[in-house]
Structure 1
């Protein structure tokens, strides 16, 4: 249900259940978590996450599977969805979501776990769980609030309203919107632009950005200073600064 394709220095992860609009059942969540855990130990520099087909990134959790769950089973399902999202968020490499269609409910939560979100002009995003009688369960109340602020997040979650790609861009839910037939190429271009930089520096930057969401300012600044200092123990730092002074392109090796 999840495919990995390596295109060094990039890896592509594709939710591959197009006949169900890439709806996320338990097995898909397990596969997604394992894919990102595997890639976390890989030498690829950037990961792009997308959905198979041209209709959906992921239309949400599989309602047919959820409908008859007991509260205990629902808790386990929520924790499984959160574990998949956490595997994405905790990957040391930057993760770009290429949202090629519907990203609703759990699909939106998967996108929220990524570092950068690019949308096609046909994308539709939202957290419609309350229309099914449940709140978001895979991080929507937490990550959406941190991304767009409590007022906008509250309105979207309380109403279950879907938003177009253009509105998602306006409220800061996505970084950019492209014609559908350009989306994957644009995602690749962005990934390659990131991959040209020092991979250790990019990973340290991601770790520091994550700290900004979890700790107070002084603690975050202390982490940033330590990350900055740590980079000076690498060959990449010496190569990057030497290349700048010598007016040539740096050849980073990730060491």
Structure 2
């Protein structure tokens, strides 16, 4: 896969224009860029989706005219599902899985570092890598029926897209460990109670509310907006890179473990996995 920032062939249109791709719909209006993952019903983060997102992120890094980015999903069932599951993992060699995880991590790092304020509008379930994509955003809003889950421990691994690094700063250490290790599926109100999302809205009103918030931000001074984000990002990044490097190293080791292979086999055979810790 290409690195985020390479091969930037996608171009935004004029105000109100829509650029269509098989994976992401892009609209731009008055300093707000809205990205809609349009692979309904699950909006899965396929490699093509991530590559398209990388091109968009590379352009946004150089875009001085937009100040807020909204990311949401098409339909009402899923914000997005992740790219790797036991069924998909069974079809890929280990080196491809590890390469995909690390490439996706770099993409999420670029997304988090964008100068614009990035809002994730969770219009449905956010699962696995897609949930981690939302953690790389600055603000999260949820539809009343939205759900959030990080099920990787059920597959013998831990989240490889940045959740162990980002989630504790958002919901606290204990909540982060509970979400990643007990693998609950959180409802919208649970997400709000622990600060994972800033607000919950009726499904039909979610995008309008996200856009209204974006307009309030855009109405303020662009130097103030970008300056505030840059300072916050610099403060929170103390120790971030070391933690991310450790996450990459440990996630690679886990991918080659017998437990991950057992989880993949158990999924294919329709039985609970028998983990051994090896």
For normalisation by structure 1, the TM-score amounts to: 0.81
The answer to whether structure 1 residue 61 and structure 2 residue 83 are counterparts is yes
Is residue 2:6 matched to residue 1:6? Answer: no
Q: In structure 1, how many angstroms separate the alpha carbons of the residues matched to 2:134 and 2:96?
A: 24
Q: Where does residue 240 of structure 1 map in the other structure? A: none
The answer to whether the aligner puts 1:34 opposite 2:59 as a matched pair is no
Where does residue 179 of structure 1 map in the other structure?
202
Residues 80-119 of structure 1: matches in 2 within 5 Å?
80-119=103-142
**Aligned-pair RMSD on alpha carbons?**
1.4
- The answer to whether the 8 A contact 1:37-1:91 is kept is no
Q: Matched residues in 1 for 2:90 and 2:212: separation?
A: 41
Task: Answer whether contact 1:29 1:80 (CA < 8 A) is retained.
Answer: no
* TM-score, scaled to structure 2: 0.74
Say how many residue pairs are matched.
Answer: 215
Aligned counterparts, 1:181-220, within 5 A: 181-215=204-238
More helix by share: 1
Return 55-64 or 44-53, whichever deviates more: 55-64
SS in 1 for 2:119: strand
Matched with 2:182 is: 159
Kindly report structure 1 stretches of 4+ aligned residues shifted beyond 3 Å. none
Deviation at 1:36, TM superposition (A): 1.5
For residue 45 of structure 1, report the CA deviation from its aligned partner.
1.4
Counterpart of 2:44 (choices 3, 20, 23) is 23
Q: Distance in 2 between matches of 1:146 and 1:78?
A: 21
Distance (Å, rounded) in 2 between the aligned partners of 1:41 and 1:82: 20
The equivalent residue for 1:132 is 155
In 2, Cα distance between the equivalents of 1:157 and 1:7? 37
**What's the offset of the Cα at 1:130?**
1.2
Contact map agreement 1:25 1:65 (CA 8 A) in 2: no
Structure 1: 5+ residue stretches without partners: 217-255
Q: 1:135 deviation in Å?
A: 1.2
